[in-house]
Every structure is written in C-alpha cells, then in structure tokens.
Amino acid sequence: MKTVRNIFFLLCAAIVCLTVASEGKAVENTLNPKQQSIIAISSFTANGDLKKLKSALNEGLDAGLTVNEIKEILVQLYAYAGFPRSLNGINTFMAVMDERKAKGISDKEGREASPMPANWNRDEYGAQVRAKLGGGDTIPAPSGYQLFAPVIDTFLKEHLFADIFARDNLDYQSRELATISALASIPGLGGQLQFHMNAAMNTGLNEAQMKDFICVLAGRVGEAEAQAANTVLTRVLASRAN
C-alpha cells in the first residue's frame, strides 16, 4: 500500500514538473495560482479546517483573487457544504481582511454581480445552465429524484443554477472548480463529484488541468481526498473517451 501511495505522489510531481515551462512560466495545461487558491479555499471551507482556510485565503488574495471573488466562492459553497460551513468560511475571511487591513495591505475589491431582469424565468434559465454544464444541448426529461421529489429539482434549477450561477462576478469554470474541490473534500459524494468533474471539463478545463487538480488536492488537502477524487476522475476520463 505504501508503494502505491508513493507512486501516486510521484506521478503527481511528474505532472506538475512536465506542465511548467522554463523560467518558471506555467504552460496552458497547468492550473494557475488563482485556480490553485480556489481549490484550497473551497476544500478547507467544505471540510471545516479553518486554520488552513485562513492561510488559503491569504494566499488567494496574494495570488490575485479579488475580495468579491472569494466572497462569491464562500457564498456558493453553502449549496454544497451547507450554511454552517459557508458562514464559518465567511467569518474566517472577515478576520483575515481585518488582519490585512491592520497591516496596511490593500486588496482589490473586485466588481459586484450584475443585476438580473425583474421577470426572468429562473426555472428555465437554471434548467438550461444545468443541461449545458452536463454537456447537453437540450433539457432532458425529468427522471429519478426529479420525479420522486420535484421540489428539490425546483430548488436546484431556480436557486443553485439560476440565482447563484447567474451571478457574473465569477465565471462557470471557477464555480465548477470550487464545486469539485468542495465535493472532493466531503466523503461519500462520488456521484455528484463525477457530474461536476464532467461539468468542469465542459467549461474548458482539460485533462492535464484536471490531473493537476488531483495534485493540488494531494499536496494541499490530503492523500485520501486526492486518491478518492482520482478514482472518480479516471471514470470521467474513460467515459469522455468513448
């Protein structure tokens, strides 16, 4: 077992090394510092490790994430990790901001989300966003849990994929990166992680970047989380190859 773990981490190291160009410039197949910070912030918010979250928040700001982008990540995560984790993350971020201001550090605020039309059809909008993230051109007929408990499907469409995903101060790719980071950090969510890994790739993340995601998990979050996520990613890549 120890040999398997060592091989896993060696492969991660190899991926990182192969995707870094000369003079320290990352090539397009490597997640950039902002994206890596999104992974750490989302993972530690989801698993409740507030000490590590504090460090990740500072690193995210130093990497160039704006205050409003980080706020948006923390707010979105309530849909995946629950209000308590999200609120703990927000309170931790407030403390980080106070400390940085006391040190004279000025962080870029970033823009607010644009307002949506007063009478927009949230149900239709959310259904279209979910279908697009899932790789479909049309909205599929309801099935499974959608038929068994229609109200949860309404909440998913109108709130998660409409109210939240329509907020344009964070793009879909960043939102999906935050989502898979949170899901990978909570045990027992392989099915949801598989959907959102596919969605992350449908937003433009490529295979090398997804493998880099696993490496960041391994190096920053934990071996168990990285191995479990890698198992799901293997299934995702195999399904997309067919």
Average pLDDT, the chain: 91
Confidence band (pLDDT; 50, 70, 90) for 162?
A: very high
- The full DSSP string for 10-71 is HHHHHHHHHTB-GGG-B-TTS--HHHHHHHHHHHHHHHT-HHHHHHHHHHHHHHT--HHHHH
Of 43 and 14, more confident: 43
| Matching residue, tokens 């993972």 | 43
- Partner residues linked to 26 by β-bridges: 20
- Report the share of the chain in percent with pLDDT over 90: 86
Per-residue pLDDT reduced to its tens digit, 109-141: 999 999 999 899 999 999 999 999 999 989 999
Check pLDDT > 60 for residue 27: no
Q: Can you tell me the distance from the alpha carbon of 199 to that of 149, in angstroms, rounded to the nearest whole number?
A: 23
Q: In 156-189, which ranges are continuous DSSP H helix?
A: 172-184
Q: At residue 6, does pLDDT exceed 80?
A: no
pTM for the whole structure: 0.89
Chain centre to alpha carbon of residue 9: 22
pLDDT surpasses 80 at 154: yes
Burial of 104 (0-12, 13-18, 19+ CB in 10 A): exposed
Answer left, alpha or beta for residue 123, where phi above 0 means left and psi between -120 and 50 means alpha. alpha
Average pLDDT over residues 147-175: 97
Q: Is the pLDDT of residue 229 over 90?
A: yes
Q: How confident is the model at residue 17 (pLDDT cuts 50, 70, 90)?
A: very low
What is the C-alpha to C-alpha distance for residues 63 and 30, in angstroms, rounded to an integer? 15
In this predicted structure, the answer to whether residue 25 has a pLDDT above a threshold of 60 is no
* pLDDT for 19 beyond 90: no
What's the pLDDT score for residue 7?
A: 57
Task: Write down the pLDDT at residue 4.
Answer: 53
**Residue 137, pLDDT score:** 86
Could you tell me the residue ranges of all domains in the chain?
31-113+167-241
Read off the pLDDT band of 93 (50, 70, 90).
Answer: very high
The full length of the chain comes to 242
What number does CATH give the domain 31-113+167-241? 1.20.1290.10
CA torsion angle for 57, 85, 183, 215 (degrees, to 10)? Answer: 30
Amino acid letter at 141? Answer: A
Q: Which residues of 208-229 are buried (b: 16+ CB within 10 A; e: fewer)?
A: bbbbbbbbbbbbbbbeebbebb
Query: Dihedral angle at the C-alpha atoms of 93, 183, 47, 56, nearest 10 degrees?
Result: -40
Give the separation between CA 5 and CA 146, rounded to whole angstroms: 39
Above pLDDT 70, what percent of the chain?
88
For 179-227, what is each residue's pLDDT tens digit? 999 999 999 999 999 999 999 999 999 999 999 999 999 999 999 999 9
